[in-house]
Amino acid sequence: MEKIKNIIENSLGSSKRFENPKDELMYDQFTYFEKIDNGVLVPLKYMISELKHIKEENKEGYFVEFLCRYSNLRKEALSRYEEKKKLEENYDIKIFDEWFNNICNEIGNDYKSGDKRWKDHIKDIFDSNLKKLIPEEKKISDDLNIENKKNIFGLINANLIFSDNLEKFGIGKNDECLSIHFKELSKQKNKDRSIQNIFSSGSLSKLAVSIVEEHPQVKAIIAKSWLVDSPIGRRIGFKVFRKYKSIMEGMGFWGQFIKEDGNIDQKRMQEFLETGVPKYLPSEGFIKTEDFLKKYLPLEKRGLIELKELTEESIKDLNSFEELKNNLNKNWKEISKEELSLLLMNSHVIVNYVKTEKGKIWFSLMMRAKELGTTPSKLDNFSKDIEKDFVDYIENLKKYKISKKIDI
């Protein structure tokens, strides 16, 4: 009881001084984890009995699993690792897990030692391991954090994806959507003082122009964030189709505790650490493209807009390939080499690919992998170039036709 009392008295929000809000946020995230581990709070997703069962079943991996689930530790580590990877091409992402496990083991040993100041040591543990990965003399340019500037529209990052669970809204599984992610407002305000919020940044208008000029086939704009079901999300125009009753790692959840000036919202954080109930939970929402364009397409770009959709032949080919892929993923270990060959050669999509030079190599790798009882990606002679060629081939199966013309 004394241990629990100390946690309650000493961890209602962070009172110590931090070099930056990111360190403070991580400290608060670990405080949340500590309360869960000591039974002061129970995650929304679990009952007390369920949590106890998870801890008993996975005594070794429980600490890392829950620490990563309820903090940005892994996300921050992966972000730093990716920075290093861009600086030095010889760094392999497979090394990341081993490197990250070292960090988790150090933190875990400190926590299990009973040291009440374990959270104060985390930054030093993290930084010391980062120094092994990224020499201090190497400066990370902001440009290195951008995979593709074409996908960035002010405060919004956007990626093409297939829809999920939107059939009842008239959006099929083969329909492409734009999945958007909101960047930290405070960082952008520091770069551009004219930006006050997502609406004054011009981000939504820039995205609308991109849809008209580059992606007229997308059926909807979707997002997963605490913002979706907030007043801001409703003002943007999101229709919520899924709410999560659990806390998600990453800024998709923890971003609600960051104020526009970049500092921690101490009042909101303290309320959460007292009750375990956040003001907002992550939600998924969507806006149909036509509605989005009507709201955000700039005046000078308005007029008769052509929207597109997949041709019937493309849908047939993509469905055929998806069925084959699911079959192989599910039964790869069980099917024989002969059965694999038969499955591939019975697919006209694959037959057409195998007629190409790289397609022949791809097919031989599939056969060789099955013969050795492994997967193609684990073969010594597996080529990223072949993998990319196959992905590009499947991507090129998508053919579009004009589905409608709308006056905006």
Query: Alpha-carbon distance 219 to 77, whole Å?
Result: 35
Are 182 and 158 found together in one domain? yes
Are 168 and 234 found together in one domain? yes
When pLDDT is averaged across residues 370-397 and rounded to a whole number, the result is 88
- Residue-range definition of the domain harbouring residue 328: 312-395
CA angle 337, 341, 342 (to 5 degrees): 115
Query: Alpha-carbon distance 322 to 315, whole Å?
Result: 10
- Among residues 142, 177, 211, which one ends one of the domains? 142
Q: How far is CA 56 from the centre of its chain?
A: 29
Are 238 and 346 found together in one domain? no
Which of 220, 221, 229, 233 is CA-nearest to residue 283?
A: 229
Are 40 and 54 found together in one domain? yes
Do 5 and 237 touch, CB atoms closer than 8 A?
no
Q: Dihedral through CA 336, CA 341, CA 344, CA 348, nearest 10? A: -150
Beta-bridged to residue 159, according to DSSP, are 179
> How many domains, the chain?
3
CA quadruple 374, 375, 378, 380: dihedral sign: positive
Alpha helices in 165-262 (DSSP H): 185-191, 203-214, 231-236, 251-254
pLDDT digits (tens, 9 = 90+) for 211-266: 999 999 999 999 988 889 888 899 999 999 988 877 665 557 888 898 878 889 99
Answer yes or no: is 404 within a domain. Answer: no
pLDDT digits (tens, 9 = 90+) for 79-88: 777 766 655 5
Do 133 and 78 touch, CB atoms closer than 8 A?
no
Other residues' Cβ atoms within 10 Å of the Cβ of residue 281: 18
- Going by the DSSP 8-state scheme, the letter that residue 139 receives in this structure is P
Are 366 and 317 found together in one domain? yes
- Among residues 109, 127, 142, which one ends one of the domains? 142
Which of 201, 203, 187 is CA-nearest to residue 259?
A: 187
pLDDT value of residue 41? 84
Answer yes or no: is 170 within a domain. Answer: yes
Do 203 and 153 touch, CB atoms closer than 8 A?
yes
- Among residues 115, 142, 169, which one ends one of the domains? 142
Are 212 and 295 found together in one domain? yes
Do 34 and 7 touch, CB atoms closer than 8 A?
yes
Answer yes or no: is 403 within a domain. Answer: no
pLDDT value of residue 57? 73
Are 171 and 84 found together in one domain? no
When pLDDT is averaged across residues 291-304 and rounded to a whole number, the result is 95
pLDDT digits (tens, 9 = 90+) for 28-59: 999 998 888 888 887 766 655 666 666 777 66
Distance set, CA 281 to CA 36, 40, 263, 291, 379 (Å): 18, 20, 20, 25, 43
Q: pLDDT tier at 8 (50, 70, 90 boundaries)?
A: very low
Query: Alpha-carbon distance 250 to 14, whole Å?
Result: 19
Are 126 and 184 found together in one domain? no
Q: How far is CA 102 from the centre of its chain?
A: 23
Answer yes or no: is 288 within a domain. Answer: yes
SS (H, E, C) 202-216: CHHHHHHHHHHHHCC
Answer yes or no: is 264 within a domain. Answer: no
Are 166 and 289 found together in one domain? yes
CA angle 244, 237, 200 (to 5 degrees): 115
pLDDT value of residue 293? 97
Answer yes or no: is 294 within a domain. Answer: yes
Are 340 and 297 found together in one domain? no
In which residue are the tokens 């892929």 written? Answer: 325
Give the domain CATH number at 184: 3.40.630
pLDDT digits (tens, 9 = 90+) for 350-381: 999 999 999 999 999 999 999 999 988 888 77
Are 223 and 326 found together in one domain? no
For 18, the token pair is 């931090």
> What DSSP letter does each residue of 43-98 carry, written as one string?
-TT--HHHHHHHHHHTTTTHHHHHHHHTSSHHHHHHHHHHHHHHH-TT--THHHHH
Are 52 and 28 found together in one domain? yes
Answer yes or no: is 406 within a domain. Answer: no
Q: pLDDT tier at 142 (50, 70, 90 boundaries)?
A: very low
Judge whether residue 269 has pLDDT over 80.
yes
Answer yes or no: is 90 within a domain. Answer: yes
Judge whether residue 4 has pLDDT over 50.
no
65: exposed, middle or buried (Cβ count in 10 Å: 0-12, 13-18, 19+): middle
pLDDT value of residue 91? 55
